Amino acid sequence: MVMKTSLQLKIGQQLTMTPQLQQAIRLLQLSTLDLQQEIQAALESNPMLEVTEEQPDQAPEREDTVREDGNTADTTESADPQDAPEAPGSDESFNESIPEDLPVDTAWDDIYQGTTLSYGGAAGDEDFDFESRNSRTESLKDHLEWQLNLTPLSDTDRAIAEIVVDAVDDDGYLTQSVEDILDAVNQGREEPVEVDEVEAVLKRVQQLDPAGVAARDLQECLMIQLGQLPEDTPWLPEARKVVRHYIHLLGNRDYAQVMRRARLKEPQLKEVLRLIQSLNPKPGSIINSGQSEYIIPDVIVRKKEGVWRVELNPEIAPRIRVNPMYAGLVRRADNSSDNTFLKDQLQEAKWFIKSLRSRNETLLKVATRIVEHQQAFLEHGEEAMKPLVLHDIAEAVGMHESTISRVTTQKYMHTPRGVFELKYFFSSHVSTDSGGECSSTAIRAMIRKLIADEPPKKPLSDSKIATILGEQGIQVARRTVAKYREAMNIPPSNERKRLV
């Protein structure tokens, strides 16, 4: 068989991901904190970019409004504070090479005339608590070691205590057995330590703050806390008896057996349970060892004169522009290395500003459509949430679903009902008997409300909840109720049974 070579001409279309397009897409999916870091990096690397000193109240605010009929209105006059002033001598061809609209997904609709970015750090620098925002938080181990340093111990006992503290987890429980601690202490020691000494040191560590720390199980943890209460505490002897002998029955909510074996009547058992429930089953949780996480909303929704208004948060990023003095140094028809560098930096600066503007336009457009669709939630709460999927918003704004997914990930909306991620407003639907649709978020809210109002002695089963929802015209299977309940970290009915 003979293979012949030939030339063929084919015509096709192919999307080229230019660096500018990649940058615009990357900025689109960044969270607020990541965006601030990206802007700071751009300011440090590109001399053409600078932070403007103009105060935010000197520029017109950008906001969209959602009227009662669901229509969107633009309340801002034409203004574009991010456009850099053209310096004399700057190359005008740069503007011609940068399109007004970046094709991140599709052609940008002209929803509003400009965006406002304001520098959030300048206004509140005097009140900024640097120590509380950046100081290292104390861990449970640090807290226990600090107390050990104030406790008189022999060298051997201190070595044992340090091993015990190392074996305590974040909840305050001892994760190693006494035998394992003994083996660790005796490694390389000429005179071995006896197990009784390890037990004695463990008892001393268990008397440290917080109460109940270094316990080996829940029963020991509660007994330690009960042992530190004043002897005249009401119902203390009965609580010790129940915890010592019948804690497994409490775990199973078998109150009848507890009353029979402990010889307590129901009113007495209620008082005992109140005392036990005042204890902390996870004493280590009192010591906050985690770093605080801060959420900065990207858009703000508020109601003014009966109209829901959507606006960008002016605190999310610095106001940046092209430095007019440096832009004026660019000379035409100059191919020197210095001038070429300035041209490249000017081009990148303008692309970066265009990308930021496009990001904010897309974010505001998507947030406005979400508010239009979920006005009932803003008015009445979770139970009024409507079904919404990415395709609905993508179709409304004329973009691809993947773009909507990028815009709604790690972007937050501040509403009168709290701060929510944009993805929170998306949920699947369940058909109703009337032919309508009910959001899964609304169903979760209904389940949560039914459980909150259930009788404590006879909690509602998943089947009963499904029946009640069915009577309201919402057909939900029992397994669906169980799935929603587990997603909300609500225990089953047998674990929700209580006397108090």
DSSP string over 114-158: ------HHHHTGGG--HHHHHSPPPPHHHHHHHHHHTS---HHHH
Say yes or no to pLDDT of 7 above 50: yes
Q: Give the pLDDT confidence of 450-474 residue by residue, as tens digits.
A: 998 888 888 889 898 989 888 888 8
Residue 337 pLDDT class (50, 70, 90 cuts): confident
What was the pLDDT predicted at 433? 61
Q: Which of 106-115, 207-216, 267-276, 440-449 shows the lowest mean pLDDT across its residues? A: 106-115
Confidence at residue 300, expressed as pLDDT on a 0 to 100 scale? 93
With a cut of 80, say whether residue 291 has pLDDT above it. Answer: no
Which candidate, 402, 409, 360, 355, places its Cα nearest to that of 22? 355
pTM: 0.61
pLDDT category, 1, cuts 50, 70, 90? low
Mean pLDDT of 239-264: 90
Average pLDDT over residues 132-158: 81
CA 188 – CA 408 distance, rounded (Å): 58
Give the tokens for residue 44.
Answer: 């440090």
- What does the alpha-carbon distance between residue 185 and residue 70 come to, in Å, rounded to a whole number? 71
| Mean pLDDT for the stretch of residues 275-295 | 81
**How far lies 47's CA from each of 38, 51, 343, 418, in Å?**
15, 11, 11, 40
Residue count of the chain, please give it. Answer: 500
Residue 54 confidence (pLDDT): 57
In DSSP notation, 42-83 reads HHHH-TTEEE----GGGS---EEEE-TTS-EEE---S--TTS
Q: What is the mean pLDDT of residues 385-412?
A: 88
Question: Looking at residues 278-299, what average pLDDT do you find?
Answer: 81
Domains defined along the chain, listed by start? 19-125+298-364 (no CATH), 140-286 (no CATH), 427-496 (1.10.10.60)
Q: Please give the pLDDT value at position 108.
A: 33
pLDDT at residue 129 is higher than 70:
no
Degrees to nearest 5, angle at CA 311 with 309 and 313 = 140
Q: What percent of the chain has pLDDT over 70?
A: 77
CA atoms of 143 and 141, how far apart (whole Å)? 5
Averaged pLDDT for residues 8-34 = 74
As a whole number of angstroms, the distance between CA 170 and CA 164 comes to 13
- The residue-averaged pLDDT of 326-333 equals 80
- If you average pLDDT over every residue of the chain, what do you get? 79
Q: Minimum mean pLDDT among 93-102, 323-332, 478-487: which range?
A: 93-102
Helix (H, G, I), strand (E, B) or coil at 168: strand
What is the distance of C-alpha 455 from the center of its chain? 33
pLDDT of residue 67: 52
Higher pLDDT, 60 or 353: 353
Provide the pLDDT for residue 289: 56
- What was the pLDDT predicted at 166? 93
Position 119 scores a pLDDT of: 32
pLDDT at 106: 36
Cα(352)–Cα(346) distance, integer angstroms:
10
Distance CA 205, CA 198 (A): 11
Span of 228-237, 247-256, 344-353, 433-442 with lowest mean pLDDT: 433-442
Distance in angstroms (rounded) separating the CA atoms of residues 249 and 488: 26
Q: What is the pLDDT of residue 436?
A: 65
State the virtual CA torsion across 191, 197, 198, 203 in degrees, nearest 10.
-160
Q: In this predicted model, what pLDDT tens digit does every residue of 196-244 receive, in sequence order?
A: 999 999 999 999 999 999 999 999 999 999 999 999 999 999 999 999 9
Q: Decide if pLDDT at 130 tops 60.
A: no
pLDDT bracket for residue 336 (50, 70, 90): confident
Going by pLDDT thresholds of 50, 70 and 90, the confidence category of residue 127 is very low
Residue 120: predicted pLDDT: 34
Q: Which residue has the higher pLDDT, 1 or 35?
A: 35
Q: What is the mean pLDDT of residues 144-150?
A: 91
429 against 78, higher pLDDT: 429
